Structure 1
Amino acid sequence: MAISVRAIEPDDRAAVTRVLAASWGGATVMALGRGELIDAAGLPGYLAFDGDELAGLVTYTSKDGTVEIITVDAVIPGRGVGKALLDAVRAAAAERGAARLRLVTTNDNTHALRFYQRYGFDLVALHRHGVDAARRLKPDIPLESDGIPIKHELELELLL
């Protein structure tokens, strides 16, 4: 069955919050590179479905010609969920006349970094010790993942 995607609607807030809690420990996430906490459950975005099953979520913000992806969660990995979600945000950004898509990930997130680069994102900045600063606002950010210390923020963009 193909993955379908639709915009988040007001009635979806509970489902969005569940996905964010499972992936991020709650709906409040650190906007890496910006140094601020954001209620991602209140952001615009898209839900992906595999039939009737919730398969993924993406949230974003838009400002000054840039659409910034805040969270991406493929609940069902390996089925094209991430690509379908990025395609939806890319289309929304193009409709808004945005010049670029932007996102920030951490140095440990090698799987996502490969995925984003294959999609067409380009690494444009390294914020050394950026996660250390983020932990001051959100102390529950893990110290490591897969044996890799989580220290730095990697900023990527896709020109539209």
Structure 2
Amino acid sequence: MASIRVRQARDEDRAALAALHEREWGGPIVVVHDTRYDLRDLPALVAVDETGGFAGALAYRVDADGLEVVSLAAAAPGNGAGTALLAAAQETATAAGADRIWLVTTNDNLGALRFYQRRGLRIVAVDAGAVDRARAVKPTIPEVGADGIPLHDELRLARRLTVADRR
């Protein structure tokens, strides 16, 4: 596994972020929990490898509900970027005074469910039909997702930050 360092995104990261968002989401627009986000408008953390190469990114927002991970993607799976980005998001949440991190994924995204649960997030809600509603806003969302699973629902995962997390 490569040595990964995480920092706030900079202007020079725009092209790499745009390419990652195009690959992962079909562009910078994501629709989640009935909200349309333009990832270009959100703060982002960027993971870089030991050569300074782009390894992944996490777009987020912070409000009274905590730090929401709106988008998390690694340039290549298994390089440690996702783990490093999620840990940095937790630090960002703590610095902002948030007491939890949370996110939404889709019912077909079994790899993400495995990844997040192994890092302490738990499923706290299921919104049946949320992806069907999102398709009305972003028609390019496919009907069938990973592993041939019909894509219909959102799963919300969250992790409360403990006192130990805040040290």
Normalising by the smaller structure, the TM-score range is over 0.9
Tell me the residue number matched to 1:127.
127
Which runs of structure 1 show a deviation greater than 4 angstroms over 4 or more consecutive aligned residues?
none
SS for the counterpart of 2:78 is: coil
Tell me the residue number matched to 2:20.
19
TM-superposed deviation, 1:17? 1.3
**Pairing 1:64–2:64 present:** yes
TM-score by length of 2: 0.91
**Pairing 1:148–2:155 present:** no
SS for the counterpart of 2:85 is: helix
Tell me the residue number matched to 1:5.
6
Q: For each residue in 1:56-80, what CA deviation from the matched residue of structure 2 results, as whole angstroms up to 9, or x when unmatched?
A: 0100011115110000001121121
In the alignment, structure 1 segments of 5+ residues that lack a partner are none
Q: Distance in 2 between matches of 1:17 and 1:110?
A: 25
In the alignment, structure 2 segments of 5+ residues that lack a partner are 162-167
Range moving further from structure 2, 3-12 or 111-120: 3-12
Q: Distance in 2 between matches of 1:83 and 1:48?
A: 10
| 1:45 and 1:89 in contact (8 A); partners too | no
Count residues with an aligned counterpart: 158
**Pairing 1:82–2:74 present:** no
TM-superposed deviation, 1:49? 1.2
| 1:123 and 1:156 in contact (8 A); partners too | yes
Q: Distance in 1 between matches of 2:152 and 2:111?
A: 16
SS for the counterpart of 1:57 is: strand
| 1:65 and 1:97 in contact (8 A); partners too | no
SS for the counterpart of 2:142 is: coil
1:11 is matched by which residue type in structure 2? E
2:110 is matched by which residue type in structure 1? T
Q: Distance in 2 between matches of 1:22 and 1:123?
A: 26
Q: Distance in 2 between matches of 1:17 and 1:42?
A: 12
TM-superposed deviation, 1:5? 1.1
CA RMSD of aligned residues (A): 1.1
TM-score by length of 1: 0.94
Higher strand share: 1
Q: Structure 1 vs Structure 2: percent identity of aligned residues?
A: 42
| 1:100 and 1:159 in contact (8 A); partners too | yes
